[in-house]
Amino acid sequence: MPNDKIRYSLIALSIVFILIGGYYRVQSQRSGERLDRTKEGWPILIGIRLFGLLTLGSAALWLWNPAWFSRVSWPLPVSVRWLGVIGFALAVAWLLWMFHSLGKNLTDTVVTRRDAYFVNYGPYRFVRNPMYTGVLLLGLSLGLALGTWLIPLAATAMFALFSIRTRTEERYLLERFGHQYESYMKRVGRFFPKVLG
């Protein structure tokens, strides 16, 4: 079970993430533009949201009452759990940087906004899909911090669905930004930075 300092640190970081991330979500919705979320396909649409709910819901319940999750816990040293908290803080910072960089382009689907502009700065300098990389880091870090395999498993499943969805998403981006995005794809890794060889 995580000690109280770890729990309170995770709760504080989660509140910061929800408040700031929520602000960017609200700002991106101000255009009133309706997006067709079915373009990614029903299985992906439903699967991502279900695994997201499982990951976030189980993390919230765990922080509320860790004893409920004793069957999916493993004993980890406190130092390893604090590494998980640091990883979680880095994932939160990464995702907030991504929200800030993406600005009004932010969507929760594969379709680009009518007034979308090309973004290749911020975390987009390093990876083409920093949100998905951040979600994976968030889930793995929470698993270490809380001492469980359940949350990393759900986050990895969600990441797998994101990686399938990315093919459709990048097709829309190629249609929208053409050669500019094609060139970007050659330079920048999909989920992880390309290693120069």
Domain ranges of the chain: 4-23+40-109+116-187
Return the CATH number of 4-23+40-109+116-187, one of 2.60.40.10, 2.40.50.140, 3.40.1400.10, 1.20.120.1630: 1.20.120.1630
CA 7 – CA 107 distance, rounded (Å) = 30
CA 60 – CA 65 distance, rounded (Å) = 9
Question: Would the pLDDT of 1 be above 60?
Answer: no
Segment 55-64, tens digit of pLDDT: 888 888 888 8
Segment 73-117, tens digit of pLDDT: 888 999 999 999 999 999 999 999 999 999 999 988 888 888 999
pLDDT band at 192 (very low <50, low <70, confident <90, very high): very high
pLDDT given at position 197 = 46
Segment 25-65, tens digit of pLDDT: 999 988 888 888 888 888 888 988 888 888 888 888 888 88
Predicted TM-score of the model (pTM): 0.91
Virtual torsion, Cα 165, 120, 136, 174, nearest 10 deg: 10
